[in-house]
Chain A
Amino acid sequence: EDKVVQSPLSLVVHEGDTVTLNCSYEVTNFRSLLWYKQEKKAPTFLFMLTSSGIEKKSGRLSSILDKKELFSILNITATQTGDSAIYLCAVDYGGSQGNLIFGKGTKLSVKP
């Protein structure tokens, strides 16, 4: 069965810390892996990864994919309270367009 597993499920850090969120997957026909940030509103897109070893970076956030070991990590450096959110990992497994398998998310809380 296709699945996406995120760890940890929750994490509490202090401002300024660096965090690493993990996403592993088992799917039949991998096309891409996506990261989203979900606050109390709509999930917002962060990154899409298709190739191994190529880091995607946006400000203090970065992500990389390992297609051999079937996982991705999302790094956040110098965390701020505004980074508090649920981070979702999703995989395009080769179904119809937009049919993604999501993990349960990692709830990140950044304390001042």
Chain B
Amino acid sequence: NAGVMQNPRHLVRRRGQEARLRCSPMKGHSHVYWYRQLPEEGLKFMVYLQKENIIDESGMPKERFSAEFPKEGPSILRIQQVVRGDSAAYFCASSPGTGFAGELFFGEGSRLTVL
């Protein structure tokens, strides 16, 4: 399956713990985007990354959240000292490096539950 792969699909953390969500883009894609979907809300943009670069992090909370997309390996969304309000579905999407036509290819999401 050459689609966008996210893991874990489900993650349970207690308040104060760290959550790490991983995303491998579609084969041949070098741009990654993270979105968050809170209950009863639409998808909200968090961050746009290219390999080794954060292009736009305007949607990231200022504290506790960070994202990276290293030269090798998946993109990681890291949430430190999680709180109950972080419980949400986190979706990753990818697109080609060139010839972007507006379409994002989404993964199946990682559902974080904070107890």
Inter-chain CA distance A62–B95, complex, in Å, is 24
Q: Is A76 an interface residue (CB 8 A)?
A: no
Give chain A residues whose Cβ lies under 8 Å from the Cβ of B106.
36, 42-44
- Comparing A14-22, A52-60, A63-71, A97-105, the segment that makes contact with chain B is A97-105
Interface size class of B (residues with CB under 8 A): 20 to 34
What A residues does B4 contact at CB under 8 A? 42
Establish whether residues B103 and A34, one from each chain, have CB atoms under 8 Å apart when the complex forms.
yes
Nearest A residue to B95 by beta-carbon distance?
A: A98
Rounded to whole Å, the gap between the CB of B26 and the closest CB of chain A is 11
A86 to chain B, nearest CB (A): 10
Chain A contact patch, size range: 20 to 34
Interface digits, B75-112 against A, CB 8 Å rule (1 contact, 0 not)? Answer: 00000000000000001010100001111111111000
B56 within 8 A of A: yes
Contact among A41, A95, A99, A101 for B108, CB-based, below 8 A: A41
Chain B residues in the interface with A (C-beta under 8 A): 3-4, 31, 33, 35, 40-45, 48, 55-56, 58-59, 91, 93, 95, 100-109
List 5 extra interface pairs beyond A4-B42, A42-B4, A96-B56, CB under 8 A.
Answer: A48-B103, A90-B43, A99-B45, A102-B44, A105-B42
